[in-house]
């Protein structure tokens, strides 16, 4: 895929969703870190349901540490791997308090030293909480990058590195959110909704689920549309709900 196509793809994704954000609900960087750790192999909906109650009683590392593993588990029992996640979060709280003054570090190496925090989680926190131009590659982004031809790769890290090289600078900060939402609601795994896709005529996927006429019509509409048009927008991400602190 050439640079002009990539520019056009992100221009359309931005037109469809000018201010993308995570669907996880949080109020502070610490709450985002907790939510992202819990989201591994779980849906954002299930995490938001659990953290809505949890953040009423534990909004800081000190408060969460005070719950302990046994006190935390009832709040997250509906989430997969809850026992391991509870142990990791309590250990993380202890490290944050002892080594970082109770604050979430704005440093990849420090983040990845926290229990249960890998490169993807660190990327999400750096991007969403601190505005760093990182791209966390999850299953949705991996699929979109390969299927469209945007940044093909055999591994998650290969896709991430390629995206960091080829995504135009002006789109780096929001690329993660655009691609994950596109993969979640439009470019779905089993049956991509090509007929609703704002970039279908730019996508290099060979097995599109719409007709050639639909692709041509999309191209024509995109050509005459302005940057303010919200063509083919995927479902909007919900605004972040600020929790009481």
**Runs of H (alpha helix) within the chain:** 3-16, 29-38, 44-57, 61-76, 82-100, 108-112, 119-128, 139-148, 156-166, 172-185, 212-224
Distance (Å) of CA 68 to CA 40, 113, 114:
21, 20, 17
Neighbours of 32 (CB within 10 A): 23
Active-site hit among 85, 120, 174, 208? 120
Query: Is 120 among the catalytic positions?
Result: yes
Q: Of the candidates 103, 108, 100, 102, which has an alpha carbon nearest to the alpha carbon of residue 125?
A: 108
- The answer to whether the CB of 149 falls within 8 A of the CB of 205 is yes
Active-site hit among 44, 138, 174, 201? 138
Which residues are known to be catalytic? Answer: 120, 138
């Amino acid at each position: 895929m050439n640079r002009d196509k990539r520019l056009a793809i992100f221009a359309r994704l931005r037109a469809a969703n000018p201010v993308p954000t995570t669907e996880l609900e949080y109020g502070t960087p610490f709450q985002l870190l907790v939510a992202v750790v819990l989201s591994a192999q779980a849906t954002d909906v299930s995490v938001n349901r659990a953290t809505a109650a949890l953040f009423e009683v534990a909004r800081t590392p000190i408060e969460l540490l005070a719950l302990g593993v046994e006190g935390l588990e009832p709040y997250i029992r509906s989430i997969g791997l809850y026992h391991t996640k509870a142990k990791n979060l309590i250990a993380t709280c202890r490290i944050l308090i002892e080594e970082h003054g109770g604050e979430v570090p704005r440093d990849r190496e420090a983040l990845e030293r926290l229990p249960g925090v890998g490169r993807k989680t660190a990327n999400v926190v750096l991007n969403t909480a601190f505005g760093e131009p990182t791209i966390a590659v999850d299953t949705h982004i991996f699929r979109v990058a390969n299927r469209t031809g945007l940044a093909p790769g055999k591994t998650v890290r290969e896709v991430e590195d390629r995206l960091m090289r080829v995504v135009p600078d002006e789109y780096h900060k929001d690329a993660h959110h655009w691609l994950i939402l596109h993969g979640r609601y439009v470019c779905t795994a089993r049956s991509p909704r090509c007929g609703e896709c704002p970039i279908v005529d730019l996508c290099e996927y060979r097995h599109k689920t719409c007709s050639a006429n639909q692709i041509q019509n999309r191209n024509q509409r995109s050509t005459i549309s302005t940057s303010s048009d919200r063509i083919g927008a995927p479902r909007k991400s919900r605004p972040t709900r600020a929790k009481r602190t």
